[in-house]
Structure 1
């Protein structure tokens, strides 16, 4: 863990009414600011689908606690240029702020318009520091290049950084988009014999007549419920993330996915064999990558075809069709993912201190993370953080 020494925050030069910042506690703010937050997301290139308005609004509706919203916003000449959707809470006995939906999200961040980055971050920092009642802001899964790193760089008090989850990414490949183009680019990176076996498995899928289609946005809620039914059947008799079996998660995911699908930020893919639904997966579509969030399949399907390969082909094709760089397998560097030779990207946990107890909180967080990693078997253990979504391609 690294610690950033405290420094003084200089007053913004030429401060004027061009800038305004506030922290909203009224839950109606999430509704009132919907259009502004959607617009800001589009102007925030480092944001992931877990910062999309539909994701955080749905999560708050099913998981949020009244009175705990802390939505920090910054405007420049009236236009929203930064936002930190946060919630107050108590962790390990310490009052903290955490990103909304963090427990069901693979990445955490703030929204930031890079055109106004310096001033927006400065005013966001001041607004957060002026908000009373918390000792630390805990950002558990921050990607490299995220806006949260800019906030940490301007934070005038102590900050702590520690490695978090490893995420694996696969490129969609060059050339014209098509059902096989993306997977061909991935297989070309494998040893010839391994690639040949994979291509034979793909031919087997095609010969069997298994089809894949994207569900229309107005049918997404029902498709998500069907996906979760398949997910529960697939994991029957084995340890499953208990949150995935609860009604609030089901309702959150259906609502969020429906809204995101309408905006082109999510897709539910269904796989049918002789007209029968045999598998389905939810793909979140970000600015740079598509993220394989959750899937379900009939238990006996895996004995007949390579389910992970089947889904990976479609997800790569989706990434290419949407002109994204590739597919993120999200958190976890399990060995079965490594066979694709993906690029590894390490998330970081950033804790921003406001008051003296933050040091004790950061120390406790580091100790608990270390013990959790040891229980899960060392490097890569962060993939199993409580509350995290099971990534696609989970064998």
Structure 2
């Protein structure tokens, strides 16, 4: 252990009861090139962290950094026992306007977390808690979209200083069961309607196939084109139209497909591809991340949600996952399947001397939430106008990006 690292750990040793950390070295990495080179050992750690989700893979996080991290400062906390990576916190420093340490992956990642080795989880969590305290010397720590039971909870439990816990996004989850078993969970009338939808899909001759790894990049681009087409005139999420999102998704999913952490599926009618979807997987979870479907399917009265869920439920069962996540969003159509509601957590942390900054930061969050709620309830037309404006900007950005690529 270097003198600098040892000093950092002693300063940051948690006051609460924690496992001994003999032989543990915690390093702070600020070098993007070093981040890129971490892939093999990061992936091994990911496989040893039972609670990890696909959004903690190196492929997802490093790709996100390449597309979205330009204006931030990389802060990776890496905990080693000897030469073995046993803990990692993928963080960056931002200014909002206060300095804040936040997870990589924000905005487009449904779950965010740290990684800790299950074989020494207590010691790894203690090491990360100490390293986090040192890294947050002049900043608030804002850990968003933490799934209940996630590894980050262990680190937060060892935090020594002011903290606040807030609710974050709503996620809906189903048990990983064969599709027929999911149908049996529904009330009689709902189950009969869903079986009729399945018969309709079969009558239309809709079949699916997994996209082979070499074809994944082009399939992801085709999925995004269909995604924008299906939402044309109905307010597509602006980020899904932007070149940086496409670049990230092609790069990340292409890599994740090769390691078994993503599956791209195309749905065909004869020789025509009418839909594609991206399913992300981790040791215990599978979740449909994004799909694109041709309007022809909707015109043919095909129920796209049923089509995707039938495939994803069978995929989760066959691969041994325990949970089929519908990911973020509390939409009515998801509740048809009687999912469990899971609310992600948001942890705000600070050192004792930064308690006033933490209160100010939390106040800004509450103020923005009140303004957003007021806009939704009182000015729905304003939100529609903003959505349309964002779509125009996104299309302009995509066109400009295509022009630069052509040159």
Q: TM-score range by the shorter chain?
A: 0.7 to 0.9
1:153 aligned residue: 157
Change (3 A) 1:375 1:44: farther
Q: Is 1:22 matched up with 2:19?
A: no
| TM-score normalised according to structure 1 size | 0.87
| TM-score normalised according to structure 2 size | 0.85
Q: Is 1:9 matched up with 2:15?
A: yes
1:176 aligned residue: none
Q: Is 1:330 matched up with 2:336?
A: no
Q: Following the alignment from structure 1 to structure 2, what is the Cα–Cα distance between the partners of residues 8 and 315?
A: 42
Unaligned runs of 5+ in 1: 1-6, 174-181, 379-385, 388-395
SS in 2 for 1:102: coil
Change (3 A) 1:307 1:164: same
The number of residue pairs the alignment matches comes to 364
SS in 1 for 2:107: helix
Q: Following the alignment from structure 1 to structure 2, what is the Cα–Cα distance between the partners of residues 219 and 28?
A: 28
Higher deviation after alignment, 142-151 or 295-304? 295-304
1:364 aligned residue: 364
| Maintained 8 Å contact 2:18/2:122 | no
Aligned pair partner of 2:287 in 283, 291, 312: 291
The one-character-per-residue Cα deviations of 1:175-229 (angstroms, maximum 9, x if unpaired) are xxxxxxx211111011222211211211111121111111011211000000000
Q: Decide which structure has greater helix share.
A: 2
1:46 aligned residue: 51
SS in 2 for 1:104: coil
Pairwise CA distance, 1:114: 2.5
Aligned pair partner of 2:70 in 50, 65, 73: 65
Aligned pair partner of 2:231 in 232, 235, 238: 235
Q: Is 1:104 matched up with 2:88?
A: no
Pairwise CA distance, 1:12: 7.5
Aligned pair partner of 2:80 in 72, 75, 79: 75
Q: Is 1:142 matched up with 2:146?
A: yes
Aligned pair partner of 2:342 in 340, 345, 349: 345
Higher deviation after alignment, 242-251 or 365-374? 365-374
1:201 aligned residue: 197
Aligned pair partner of 1:303 in 299, 315, 328: 299
Q: Following the alignment from structure 1 to structure 2, what is the Cα–Cα distance between the partners of residues 67 and 169?
A: 33
Q: Following the alignment from structure 1 to structure 2, what is the Cα–Cα distance between the partners of residues 228 and 169?
A: 24
Pairwise CA distance, 1:319: 0.6
Q: Is 1:253 matched up with 2:236?
A: no
Pairwise CA distance, 1:73: 0.6
Q: Following the alignment from structure 1 to structure 2, what is the Cα–Cα distance between the partners of residues 250 and 142?
A: 25
Pairwise CA distance, 1:172: 2.5
| Maintained 8 Å contact 1:27/1:66 | no
Pairwise CA distance, 1:363: 2.2
Q: Following the alignment from structure 1 to structure 2, what is the Cα–Cα distance between the partners of residues 220 and 141?
A: 28
Q: Following the alignment from structure 1 to structure 2, what is the Cα–Cα distance between the partners of residues 145 and 132?
A: 24
Alignment map for 1:257-272 (pairs within 5 Å): 257-272=253-268
Higher deviation after alignment, 94-103 or 225-234? 94-103
Change (3 A) 1:375 1:148: farther
TM-align CA RMSD:
2.2
Q: Following the alignment from structure 2 to structure 1, what is the Cα–Cα distance between the partners of residues 299 and 330?
A: 24
Q: Following the alignment from structure 1 to structure 2, what is the Cα–Cα distance between the partners of residues 42 and 238?
A: 40
Change (3 A) 1:289 1:11: closer
Aligned pair partner of 1:166 in 153, 164, 170: 170
| Maintained 8 Å contact 1:283/1:294 | yes
Change (3 A) 1:132 1:286: closer
Q: Following the alignment from structure 1 to structure 2, what is the Cα–Cα distance between the partners of residues 52 and 314?
A: 23
Unaligned runs of 5+ in 2: 1-12, 379-386, 391-407
